[in-house]
Amino acid sequence: MIETKCPPVVSVPHLKASCSPALDPPHEVRAVRDSELGRTLLPPRRAFSVRVVKRAKSVGRSSAHHRPDLTAPRGEDRRGTPRNAEEHLSSPGVSLIRRRRPGMAVPYEGQSFSALRRQCQQNGRLFEDPLFPASDQSLFYQSNRIGQVTWKRPKELCSDPHLFVDGISAHDLHQGQLGNCWFVAACSSLAFREALWQKVIPDWKDQEWDQGKTESYSGIFHFRFWRFGEWVDVVIDDRLPTVNGELVYCHSNDSSEFWSALVEKAYAKTYGCYEALDGGNTADALVDFTGGVSEPLDLIEHGFKEDEEKCNELFERVLKVHDRGGLISCSIRAISAADMEARLACGLVKGHAYAVTDVRRVRLGHGLLAYFRSDKLNMIRMRNPWGQKEWNGPWSDSSEEWKKVSKSERERIGVTVQDDGEFWMNFDDFIANFTDIILCRLINTSYLSLHKTWDEAVMSGSWQRHDDPLLNRAGGCTNNKLSFLQNPQYVFDVKKPEDEVLICLQQKDRRARLREGRGENLAIGFDIHRVELNRTYRMHVTQQKVGGSVYINSRSVFLRIDLKEGRYVIIPTTFDPGLEADFLLRNFSDVSADCKELTQHEPPQTCWSGLCGYPSLVTQVHILNANGLAGQDSDGVSDPYVIIRCEGEKVRSPVHKNTRSPVFDIKGLFYRKKANNPISIELYNHNALMDSFLGQVTLPAEQGEFQQTLHLRDKGNRRDNDLPGTLTVAVVTSTVLTNI
């Protein structure tokens, strides 16, 4: 066995550290960048963790039990609800929700918006949030960096405050004295999607100021974010930090509009303070606003800059995500501290997140003839969260290129000549200048849709350390050969000949622990292995790896992969072994994948085992291929498939079309009670009415490993007669049921 060692994780921009395990491609770990600031997150530190909450069926008995969250601050459980919540009920500003109907958002920290507002109206006082007070602890987790702050309510800042003035748009947002352009860019994208922002800002008309009913105003608002698999309802008061009468953080063009400042405050509350938003990942905010799945793409690494065909394919993907309601962000990577927020000659800013606000093909030409021409340009529109500093190259606001486009077309797509931070670019120029793009897809799971629908499986789990290898669930990546398979395992099926599968692994957000010095994400990732078609127990020997994510210390990792029909096991891991944390695994496929957690190692012994027997052997049968099968149609070919039979159980392969030499490459796993009973393998040709028999082979019941090429035989009284063709099989048998 080749001994390997993992190099230490070094915190440098675009870090890739890897080590090469024997007989397997090396795993790499990448330090995620704060793309908008050019900042590299620190390498992951050790953490502790909690329990498994399953949202999909489990195969066998669960080995996970409810345990207190060792990572939560004292007095809090894993959802952040105070354990002594009954005591908090007597405190102003806290109303614990004990139950909720399906589909309702979870009250953050147990605070009920309706109950608290009703309480304030009855008492005739404005709401003051005890969980996010108007003090420095809500502003900073380190030290005050902005001077004397005065907290003011909107009514103290203007005479006629509103949530929205003339509707909602991306121009309502301007970044304040906080490095959170990643959040502001996500808000800019959100503003263009009414269905989405109405989810984040629920019942906005009910929350809006009503000058005719000032007595009903209670200074309380609530907003919703998707956090770790569920929507969370966050209550805040309307006191906002100001310096010299001006809002310190996010603000609108209109001094009487406050939705952006209030959403930012609610988001900061979930992370403990405003300073915790200083530097982050736009992909996280996009997911928090939508419940979607973010796919980060490195435009350099994927070769989009050099390959025109790839560039066109990317535009189609970006256009599809935009047209179907998704959110998009992009940035130019800053590779050093000096690069952070450096303005380039073209007007773009490095290490800064931009919101993509439109994607379309723009028609060139003037007049009626333009509608019959095929000349269209791939264009993308972006917005700088600063509200200024735009692209000054081709197709910028006042460039000569716009003369190629009719006035009506310019008005249709919203071309403006003002320094408002929003600008258009040719997609080729976009690819040439930007280095990263994030596509946040809204996964369509509705059956009443004209677009592609997905089947979603959501599973919550945790990496938990244990001294017993059979109970340990914190084994690290495949570089750790002895412990890798001790991680949680999830099995799923691909039921079509080939299917696109989307997989997202997310860890619990650790940003709220920055005050404790434990805010860095763990480096996480996952591998996908193709296994036996009938596997229902945990995998104990590494099988064929067909894909996997990169290991990265971000909140989530994503993979889009095409898989052939069969059964697969996902193994989510931390990069290093022994680290504990909660995770959420989401699997999307075209049809139901029957995703389940594998919890048991072998068949359980029951009260019937003494009467009916218990397995003494485990056998893996691998059907490699067949050759020289008899032709069954006019073209002299067949549509063969194979059936493996063992002690009343059978495994059937997919049908292989138009071949006499199929490569089956399928496996079956059998727990056997009768060691002397042979295993039979039958080949059939698939027909519309009745399948025809092509031959069979019988395997001995001996222990050990062997591979054989066997001649096909007839069945019944003619079983000694040879039939055309051979079958190559590999067999592994063990008396230790956890050896395979």
Give the H or E element holding residue 222: strand 220-227
- Look up residue 255 and give its two tokens: 């001094």
Report the range out of 88-97, 633-642, 722-731 with the highest average pLDDT.
722-731
Q: Is residue 74 part of a domain?
A: no
Residue 452, token pair as written in the block? 């592609």
Active site residue 717: no
CA separation for the pair 263, 222 (Å, rounded):
9
Pairing mode of beta strands 376-383, 353-363: antiparallel
Q: Residue 170 in 3-state DSSP?
A: helix
DSSP string, 447-472: SS-SS---EEEEEEEEE---SSTTT-
The position carrying tokens 């995620």 is 32
**Which of 698, 738, 470 lies closest to 617 in space, CA to CA?**
738
Please determine, for residue 388, whether its predicted confidence score (pLDDT) is greater than 90: no
pTM of the model: 0.83
User: CA 346 → CA 396, 429, 432, 733, distances in Å?
Assistant: 10, 11, 12, 66
Write down the pLDDT at residue 30: 60
Considering the domain architecture, whether residues 46 and 115 belong to the same structural domain is answered as: no
Domain harbouring 519, CATH code: 2.60.120.380
Q: Which two tokens stand for residue 265?
A: 């405050």
Burial class of 273 by CB neighbour count within 10 A (0 to 12, 13 to 18, 19+) = buried
Q: How far is CA 695 from the centre of its chain?
A: 46
Residue 736 in tokens: 């230790």
Query: End of a domain among 412, 441, 470?
Result: 441
Between β-strands 246-247 and 293-298, what pairing exists: parallel, antiparallel or unpaired?
unpaired
Residue 210 token pair: 């009503």
Strand-strand pairing, 692-699 and 679-685: antiparallel
User: What is the pLDDT averaged over residues 37-59?
Assistant: 35
Domain residues for the domain of 225 are: 93-127+133-271
Q: How many C-beta atoms surround the C-beta of residue 323 within 10 A?
A: 11
- Give the model's confidence band at 407: pLDDT under 50 very low, under 70 low, under 90 confident, else very high: confident
Q: Clarify whether 352 is annotated catalytic.
A: yes
Q: Which of 318, 383, 327, 339 is nearest to 34 (CA)?
A: 339
> What is the pLDDT averaged over residues 707-727?
87
State mean pLDDT over 554-562: 95
What is the rounded average pLDDT of the residues 649-678? 94
Res 70: pLDDT: 31
* Residue 511 contacts residue 518 (beta carbons within 8 Å): no
Q: Which of 378, 384, 480, 487 is catalytic?
A: 384
More confident: 608 or 533:
533
Average the pLDDT over 691-696 and give the result.
95
My answer on whether 190 and 322 are in the same domain is: no
Residues paired with 209 in a beta bridge: none
Report CA 172 to chain centroid distance, whole Å.
29
572 shares a domain with 463: yes
222 and 108 within one domain: yes
Residue carrying structure tokens 């894993």: 78
State both tokens at 616.
């003494």
Are the beta carbons of 36 and 351 closer than 8 angstroms? yes
Find the Cα–Cα–Cα–Cα dihedral 172, 177, 183, 185, rounded to 10°.
50
- Both 359 and 461 in a single domain? no
Rounded to an integer, the average pLDDT of 603-621 is 88
Is the CB of residue 61 less than 8 Å from the CB of residue 604?
Answer: yes
588 and 617 belong to one structural domain: no
Tokens, residue 394:
């081709």
CB 198 within 8 A of CB 164: no
Q: Which of 441, 469, 492 is the last residue of a domain?
A: 441
Q: Give the pLDDT of residue 464.
A: 97
207 and 106, same structural domain? yes
Residues facing 439 on adjacent strands: 295, 328
Is the alpha carbon torsion for 261, 267, 269, 275 positive or negative? negative
In the DSSP assignment, the letter for residue 338 is G
Number of structural domains found in the chain = 4
Report yes or no on 1 lying in a domain: no
Q: Are residues 345 and 390 in the same domain?
A: yes
| DSSP letters for 502-513 | EEEEEEPP-GGG
C-beta neighbour count of 575 within 10 angstroms: 25
Residue at a domain's end among 271, 304, 331: 271
Longest dimension (CA), the chain: 99
Q: How many Å apart are CA 494 and CA 579, to the nearest integer?
A: 31
DSSP string, 110-157: G--HHHHHHHHHHHT-----TTS-SSGGGT-SS---S---EEE-HHHH
Give me the phi and psi of 150, to 5 degrees please. Answer: -115, 130
Query: 410: domain CATH number?
Result: 3.90.70.10
> Quick check: 733 pLDDT over 60?
yes
In a domain, 608, yes or no: no
Does 559 fall in a domain? yes
- Please check whether residues 342 and 399 belong to one and the same domain: yes
In this model, does residue 92 exceed pLDDT 50?
no
- Residue 170: pLDDT above 60? yes
Interhelix angle for 259-270 vs 181-190, to 10°?
120
In order, the DSSP letters of 365-380 are: BSSGGGGG---EEEEE
Q: Is residue 83 part of a domain?
A: no
> What mean pLDDT is predicted for residues 5-30?
39
Pair (102, 170) in one structural domain? yes
Distance CA 182, CA 414 (A): 24
Beta strands in 553-678 (DSSP E): 556-574, 581-589, 596-598, 617-627, 640-646, 649-652, 666-672
Q: Which of 88, 222, 251, 352 is catalytic?
A: 352
The structure tokens 């030290």 sit at: 143
Q: Say if residue 305 is in the same domain as residue 425.
A: yes
pLDDT of residue 511: 87
Of 6, 120, 181, 646, catalytic? 181
What average pLDDT does the chain have?
84
User: Which of the two residues, 408 and 494, has the higher pLDDT score?
Assistant: 494
Residue 280 in any domain: the answer is no
Q: What is the spatial distance between Cα 655 and Cα 665, in angstroms, rounded to a whole number?
A: 12
What confidence score (pLDDT) does residue 369 get?
Answer: 57
pLDDT number for residue 372: 55
Does some domain include residue 100?
A: yes
Q: 154 and 22 in one domain?
A: no
What are the structure tokens assigned to 421, written together?
């931070």
740 in any annotated domain: no
In this predicted structure, the answer to whether residue 64 has a pLDDT above a threshold of 90 is no
CATH number at residue 656: 2.60.40.150
